[in-house]
Amino acid sequence: MQSKLVIGISSRALFNLNESHKVFELEGVEAYRQHQITNETKVLEPGEAFNLVRKILRINDFYDQQRVEVVLLSRNTADTGLRIFNSIEHHRLDITRAVFSGGESPYRYVKSFGVGLFLSSDASDVVMAIQNRVPAARIVSNKTREITDDSFLKIAFDGDSVIFSDEAEKIFHEKGLNAFLESEKNNTSLLTAGPFKSFLIELNKLQAELEDNCPIRIALVTARSAPSHTRVIKTLRKWNVRVDESLFLGGMNKTDFLKSFGADIFFDDQMLNIDDAQKEVSSGHVIYGVKNQ
């Protein structure tokens, strides 16, 4: 039996709960509870990760059994969470498993479900996941985007501190660009793994299984350029990992390139890049590495 890729997602990443969250912040838990119950039959609008989740679930159409599963991990109670499940049913999302943790962090159930990617709007949950070697990102909300291309699920990754560790980024951060370039020129060792290596490998497995019919495209979008591209290429080759498109931008702004690629989501460790990219594509902040200390 094939392994299953499990995606854990928070309710605030899946649906637009901004109005409800304002009630919670301004009026408290009981007012929030009454608000959700009163609006139980009012369908929630898609959130920042909604289109991504829908495309992920469509991968199962290529299999005879469930190959990818999305699990809801929510801080709501089951009582207030009924509106969320009603919305899942309305939008015809194949999500049947859920945790409603009643205000506590739902992160502790990530390992139990075998989650291979955790997407949340809560920074502390994301940090805990990454510290425990679960690929995770904080979904940054801007506006809901319609699906413009149903044919592919397109995922873009930054390199250092996302696919790879922050070892090279530390040199740049502490000693500057020239020291970084000199280090890369003289360093023939492979890059060490970052928090999203395992998720990238799982995507590669799906691509290999589906071959010519594969609906997934992967892009590496990095600030690196020649000669610092060499270690990246050799490391991915050693890992037996393939990316469909590699963009070595040499410090150029990434946003226009992400838009041209048509990314459904972009994972980066630096909020400066995320703040800019989110204007055009859904973005996930990977809270890891020297830039987040």
| Residues comprising the chain, all counted | 293
Helix (H, G, I), strand (E, B) or coil at 261: helix
C-alpha–C-alpha distance, residues 100 and 74, integer Å:
5
* CA distances from residue 206 to 57, 67, 143, 236 in whole angstroms, order as listed: 13, 9, 29, 17
Q: For residue 264, what is the DSSP state?
A: S
| CB 244 within 8 Å of CB 217 | yes
Q: Which residues contact 88 (CB under 8 A, 6 or more apart)?
A: 14, 72, 95
The token pair that represents 70 in the structure block: 């999305």
C-alpha–C-alpha distance, residues 250 and 248, integer Å:
6
Q: Could you give the angle at which helices 18-27 and 29-38 cross, rounded to 10 degrees?
A: 150
Per annotation, catalytic residue among 122, 125, 149, 158:
158
Return the exposure string of 50-66: e unless at least 16 CB atoms fall within 10 Å of the residue's CB, then b.
bbbbbbbbebeeeeeee
C-alpha–C-alpha distance, residues 256 and 252, integer Å:
10
158 is catalytic: yes
Catalytic residue annotation: 158
